[in-house]
Every structure is written in structure tokens, then in C-alpha cells.
Amino acid sequence: MATVTSHDSNAKSHPTMTTLRRSLLPCALAGLCLASFAGIAQGQRRTAPAAAPFSVVETSIADTRTALEQRRITSRELVRLYLDRIALYEDQLNAIVTVNPHVFEIADSLDRLRAAGRILGPLHGIPVALKDNIHDTEMPTTGGALAFADLVPPYDATLTARLKASGAIIIAKTQLTELANWVASGMPTNYNALTGYGFNPWDPRRDPRDNFFDGRPVLSTGGSSSGVGTNVSFWAANVGTETSGSILSPSHQNALVGIKPTVGRVSRYGVIPITADQDTPGPIARTVSDAAIMLGAMEGTAPDPNDAATKACPPPPRNDYTAFLNAKALQGARIGIPRAFFYDRTAPASPGGTNPRGGLRDDQRKVMDEVLAVLKAQGAVIVDPAEIPSIVEKDPTMNFLNWGVCSGLDEAKGRDADCSISFKYGMKRDFNTWLASLGDRAPVKSLTELRQWNIAHQKAGAIKYGQAQLDVSDEMSVQGDRAKYEADRRKDVLLSATNGLDAVVKEHRLDALLFPSVSPANIGARAGYPTITVPYAFLPVGAGGGGGGGGGANAFPEGFEPRPAPYGVSFTGVACSEPRLIAIAYAFEQATKKRHAPPLFP
């Protein structure tokens, strides 16, 4: 449930005032949303909404910017149009945690600057949203956790400050999986204790099956970030964060474009962490062009002194990734096809033998054959196969498919010799550091205190699915377990990067690897390398789709037909290769143009 919050920069806590749905839905239907919301948030006088022949639905950042430049619309009017859509559809989707109560004040100030001839940057006066684990001093940053429900941080995240410096209006905080999905094993994506479940606009119904009948959506929104609000044009684009798949997955599930950058490309300072080894913010948008604009605004022109990793990749000239938007970029581009596991079922080497894993269903394979035909027609050089050495490695101990991330109680301390402790160790190290940065604003002072708070507040809705991930993280000793962590992290990089993506790209002189869906999320995240996902098709919900899919005990009740789910493709490269990936993704997007708005939310 979205909330409008009070804001007092001197207060330690900020209690909620009223629900967004109760305050905005009636006025939106009456066409008076602007005046009513302004009254709620700022106590301003009622004003008649300006009539403007402009629609925000599926409208690009470039087209919105042109309309602003031509005085066909103001930023205040843009905010009203977006709030009208939020009021109309939010009850069905639960895409928002908090709406910024200062949006009209901010829009007015940016309109005044524009009238005076001063433009801050490429997002001047354009509303965007942040995942609710990213600091903004004008709203709470909750992470979806009850313990942080009233936490207004003492400083902006670096990326938030950079977006504001580019002129962006931060209109809202988006739904997310609680603490970026490092709380419990088996918790549905886009669920948190504070606001419940998020719903997917392509099928916004609850799962009716007994095994999944806890309120979750029938079609996953992806997680832990949310692309729902961008999908239905609640704002122009949004910022997600990823440790492993949490930008790519919600982008894919919503038929959006997501850029998971090289770790360090965008500062993580002021973002609730899991592990600094893999955490990265990144843009989620409806087009490659919009995502490129967002990435440039988020990155900044110089490294962030609060995040040493930001020295890794130099920004492009003027932070302008749109310079790489070339519809002919596929001509001569060398695209590798990693068949083993990602396309074809593969039995990884193991002393005892293993069952084949991975591979595509027939309908997915048909889609990927179509994609390959498009790439060839656009002049790409397809290297097929281009196998990733660590995926086909014969030594079981050096095969990436046998080297997972430790999670859950089954891989608690003492049972974690054959998996990487990077997540749980990183959570113990980095989460406590983040809490310390909050000073006296911190509701709890340590991961241990958070776990204790959750247990004490279970009746209020905390830890519905338990907190096994927090438990196994808290048992880590930052000093005592450092040697295993460092060894595990070296192996992560060896198998995902050195003997993985780096090796295949170097061997075949590739510009990018093409993956079905968002299947490169794990190997790309472990390496810290960039991936861009682009929408392409819609497929029936099969085994593993939606909320479990399939037959037998997982069969849908008679008469219930799940709607088709988005299915896209991902382009992955090596460190700092975002400019080339953006060019390739844009050329593919322009050759296919499969994105369209969800018909249930016109």
C-alpha cells in the first residue's frame, strides 16, 4: 500500500499520514488530482488543472523533453498526469511504497528555472522513481522492512543527488522484495512486510493454486526491484538495484529494458547493501534510449569518494550514452551463442554424475531462432557455438554450474564448504557499515538487532517467510571468516570472469554474448559485468513460470488461464563494455520494436 508521508528534516521518525489510494483515487476520477494532492502534500490553494493535449503513456524521455522545451506542457502538469495514473491503477498493482509529498514544489521550482532559461540536465523536470532501498532525504527509505518504515535517511544516495542535479523529479519509491531479497528462503519476489505483494500488469491476478495461495501474484513481477510503475507509465523510468538478477528479472518480466551495469559504474553509496562485491544500481525503462539517458545521469562525471569501485570504468564524454544509439550497430558485430546450459540441457561434470540442467523449452527455442535470424539479417556475425569454458569444464571442482552461492539454513556455517559465502559474509560486513552511516537515525544498530526486532514484531507482520538469510549472514564473523570469504571470492571471479566471460570473449573476439531471457544474471553478476535485457516476445506460462506453473499439484484450477508472460533476450559483455552493449541492444530494439503497453492499463 502506497503512503504519502510527512517530512520534517529535524525529526528522528516520520509517521505516515494517509494512504495514497484514499487521497488520490476520487480526485483522479473527477479530474481534480492536481489540486487535491497539492493540498495534501503542501497545503497549497486549489488550482484548475491545465488542459494539455499530451499523454504520458509510453512517451519517451526525449519526446517528453521536447514537449517541455516547446512549452506544450509543464513539469507540474506532467506530475499531475502521472499522479492521475497512479490514482487510477495503483490499487490493482501495488507498485509504490511512497509518493514524494514534495513533487509539486519540486516541479514548480524546475518550471521556474526553465522559464529563466536554465536547464539542469537531460532529465530536467521529468519524473522518475527509485527502488525503496535507495536514499532520498525527502522520503523514507524502508527497504520494505517494518523496522525501517519511518527511516528518513540523513543523506541522499550519490545516484539520487546526481539524478536531482540532472533535473529529475523523484516522484516515488517503488515496491521491492524486502531488503532486496536477502531475508528469507522461499519468499516471493516483490513481497515485503511493509506493503505486501506487487502485481504484474500483464496478469494482475492472485495465484489461485492451493500451493501458492498466500496472496502472491499469478505472474511474477520479477525482483527484487520493480518495473511495474514504468510498465504502466506511472513515471518516465526508474532505478533498480541488482546483486544477482534484480534489475534484469523485473525488466524482463515487465517487457522493459534493463541495464545492469559493471559493478562500480554507478555509485552504491546510500543504497541498502547485500554485498559490495556484486551490488549495483541500474536503470529500468521502456526503451534502450531512455535507459541510456538514465544511466548517464546516474553515473556522474567523476568517481565517488564514498565508493572506491567507481574508479573502475571511465564515463563517456559528457556522460552521454545516447551517442552510442546506432540503428546499424549490428553490422559486423560479433555475437557469441553460449549453447551449453543456456540453450541446451547440460550435465555438468561431477564425480557421481548429475542430471542434465538448463536448456530451453521448444517455444523458447523457436523464439531464440527468430532472434538469431534478426541478428543475421542486420549484419551481425554469429559465432555459434561460443561456449563458456567454466560451463563446459570437465573438472567438477572448477565447473561454474557446481559452484553456487551459499543461502538458507541448509548452507549455514559448517555446511558451506562447497558454495561461496560471498553473499552472507558481505551482508554481515556491509549492512552493519550502512547502519552506522545513518547515525542516530538508525532504527537498529546492527544486523543482530534487526533480527531480534523482527522476532519481537512477528504479530505485526514481520518475517512472514522467516529470516533464514539474515540468520546465516549474522553468524558470519567478519574477521574469523575472512580467509574463506577471500578464497571463495577469488573462485567466484575465476569461474565467472577469468575462465568464464573473459575467456570466451577473448577467444572469439566477441562484442557480446546473446542469452535467452535473463539467464546470464548469475554468471554476469558474480563477475560484476554488464548485461542489457530487451523485450521480444510473449510465451505461455509453463513449468516454473508465473508462481510455479506446470501440472500435477501445481496445475491451475479448471477454467483459470494464465495470460502469456514476456520473454526477452540479454546481451552480456565484459567489464566497462556498456557503450558497445547499448549500441547492440538499440540496433536490435529498432529492428524488432516488440515493446507495447499492457492492454489492461491504457
pLDDT per residue over 501-559, tens digit each? Answer: 999 999 999 999 999 999 999 999 999 999 999 999 999 986 444 444 556 778 999 99
Q: Which of 36, 75, 220, 249 is catalytic?
A: 220
SS3 breakdown of the chain: % helix, strand, coil, rounded to 5? 40, 15, 50
Q: What is the pLDDT of residue 350?
A: 78
- The catalytically annotated residue of 75, 131, 166, 496 is 131
Give the pLDDT of residue 364. 97
The pLDDT of residue 479: 97
Query: From residue 595, how far is each of 62, 255, 534, 542, 592 by CA, in Å?
Result: 17, 6, 9, 22, 9
Task: Give the pLDDT score at 589.
Answer: 98
What's the pLDDT score for residue 348? 81
Is there a catalytic annotation at residue 220? yes
Judge whether 246 counts as a catalytic residue. Answer: yes
Residue 112 CB neighbour total at 10 angstroms: 11
Among 166, 225, 226, 246, the active-site one is: 246
Q: What is residue 32's predicted lDDT score, i.e. its pLDDT?
A: 34
Could you say which residues of the chain have pLDDT below 50?
Answer: 1-46, 48, 50, 52, 543-548
Question: What is the tens place of the pLDDT at every residue in 225-246?
Answer: 999 999 999 999 999 999 999 9
The CA–CA distances, whole Å, from 109 to 106, 119, 120, 187 equal 5, 12, 12, 42
Single-letter amino acid code for the residue at 69: E
All domains of the chain, ordered by start, with CATH?
3-324 (3.90.1300.10)
| Of 291, 390, 314, 315, nearest in space to 346 by CA | 390
Q: Is 459 a catalytic residue?
A: no
Angle 319-283-63 from CA coordinates, rounded to 5°: 75
pLDDT at position 553 is 72
Length, in residues, of the chain: 602
